[in-house]
Chain A
Amino acid sequence: GIQVEQSPPDLILQEGANSTLRCNFSDSVNNLQWFHQNPWGQLINLFYIPSGTKQNGRLSATTVATERYSLLYISSSQTTDSGVYFCAVDRGSTLGRLYFGRGTQLTVWP
Chain B
Amino acid sequence: GAVVSQHPSRVICKSGTSVKIECRSLDFQATTMFWYRQFPKQSLMLMATSNEGSKATYEQGVEKDKFLINHASLTLSTLTVTSAHPEDSSFYICSADRGFDEQYFGPGTRLTVT
B105 close to A96 (CB less than 8 A): no
Contact of A41 among B49, B91, B100 (CB under 8 A): B91
B103 close to A33 (CB less than 8 A): yes
In the complex, which of the residues A31, A92, A105 has the most CB atoms of chain B within 10 Å of its own CB atom? A31
Please, how many angstroms separate the alpha-carbon atoms of A86 and B46 in the complex?
14
B43 close to A96 (CB less than 8 A): no
- CB 8 Å contact bits of A75-110 with B (1 = contact, 0 = none): 000000000001000101011111011110100000
Q: With A95-B49, A95-B51 in contact, do A31 and B43 touch (Cβ < 8 Å)?
A: no
Q: With A86-B44, A96-B32, A100-B43 in contact, do A42 and B49 touch (Cβ < 8 Å)?
A: no
B51: nearest chain-A partner, CB-CB: A95
Q: Is B97 located at the chain interface by the 8 A CB criterion?
A: yes
Q: Is B93 located at the chain interface by the 8 A CB criterion?
A: yes
How far in angstroms is the closest Cβ of chain A from B92? 10
